[in-house]
Structure 1
Amino acid sequence: MEIVLLLILISLLGIMAWQDFVFRSISWFLFPLLFILSVLYNVMQTDVYIFAFNFSINFLFVSILLLLLSLYFSIKSKRMVNIINKQIGLGDVLFFISAATFFSPVWYLFFFLFGLMLSLVFAVFFILLKQKQSLIPLAGIMALLQICCTSWVIFSKQHFFYDTGIINWLNV
């Protein structure tokens, strides 16, 4: 059951990445599917309390980040700015929230930062190719990264629900 669920997650993430790269948008119903399947997998592997704690911290991180981003653009323009669909797409925000269900807080921070760095590399590559489209498929890039993480889980049997693995790896 675990492998089947992970393969469904990979397929779903692949569809999301494809849609974001090709159409620069993702079908709305894919986000609740990703959220529900990730929650189901996480709760099957840990327990509800660990999931609730991890998701709460990750959701708080995303909320604070979006609030600070909104505050920055509001101060810059000297008026209140709604950043959704102007500076960042709604699909990107929904993806951040859905992906928050798959990782412990430290792993989510690494996933988030690495995803943003990959997006920056993609943006530079995009500028060098002088593409007309100025939108960056952030959710698509992060979906590809989550495919890599999910594949890692399948082949290594190491999950991203506990911070102990990464803390030991970092020797903190």
Structure 2
Amino acid sequence: MLTKIVLIVWLLLLFAQDMRWRAVYWWMYPVLTILLILDRLSGVDAFAIMVDTSWNLVFLSVQFLLLSLYFRIKYKTWTNLTREHIGWGDILFLLCLGCYLPPINYLFFYMLSLGVILLFSLLVIALKRRSLNIPLAGLQAMIFAVVLMADLRAKGWDVGETEWFFSYLEK
């Protein structure tokens, strides 16, 4: 439980830093990864973490490959995703989470967080009537901190497990 509390505080620090400076110190990501793995080790073994991380890395690789192909078709030339479209901090944050969440939960969190951030960003753009530089890693860190807080409070639910998904499929 102490690791999870430290993890939540770390995620909130990452959020605050990204919101203020639109950048996060690089060393915060290795510390985040260590905290995530330590917390996950309390529930599953290291082999399960390696398998889940591998699947999540495959998903992210396919995602970025498809994104690269999309921009290749759109601009008729190869573009550097990290220079023009997504920050390294955003990629590092997604890699860190890949070490913690099982693939089903990872996909669910990825889609849900991007949807929430998209709606939030559209609302801000509509109110301010200008384009927006989205602090994706910071906003995802805040959403994940909220998920972990709910995980602390909920009985019989663990964000690191997939039982909710399989019980939903059985219905």
**Normalising to structure 1: TM-score of the pair?**
0.92
> Does the 8 Å contact 2:18/2:135 carry over to 1?
yes
1:41 matched to 2:39: yes
* Paired-residue identity, %: 31
Q: CA deviation at 1:152?
A: 2.1
Distance, in Å, in 1 between the alignment partners of 2:90 and 2:9 is 18
Distance, in Å, in 1 between the alignment partners of 2:143 and 2:75 is 33
Q: CA deviation at 1:170?
A: 4.4
1:95 matched to 2:88: no
> Does the 8 Å contact 2:148/2:159 carry over to 1?
no
> Does the 8 Å contact 1:20/1:140 carry over to 2?
yes
Distance, in Å, in 2 between the alignment partners of 1:65 and 1:20 is 23
**Normalising to structure 2: TM-score of the pair?**
0.92
Counterpart residue identity of residue 167, structure 2: N
Q: Which residue of structure 2 aligns with residue 168 of structure 1?
A: 167
Distance, in Å, in 2 between the alignment partners of 1:92 and 1:20 is 10
In structure 1, the gaps of 5 or more residues are none
RMSD of Structure 2 on Structure 1 (CA) = 1.6
Distance, in Å, in 1 between the alignment partners of 2:30 and 2:100 is 13
In structure 2, the gaps of 5 or more residues are none
Aligned equivalent of 1:127, options 125, 150, 156: 125
Counterpart residue identity of residue 128, structure 2: K
Q: Which residue of structure 2 aligns with residue 81 of structure 1?
A: 79
Q: Which residue of structure 1 aligns with residue 2 of structure 2?
A: 4
Q: Equivalences for 1:9-158 in 2 at 5 Å? A: 9-130=7-128, 134-157=132-155, 158=157
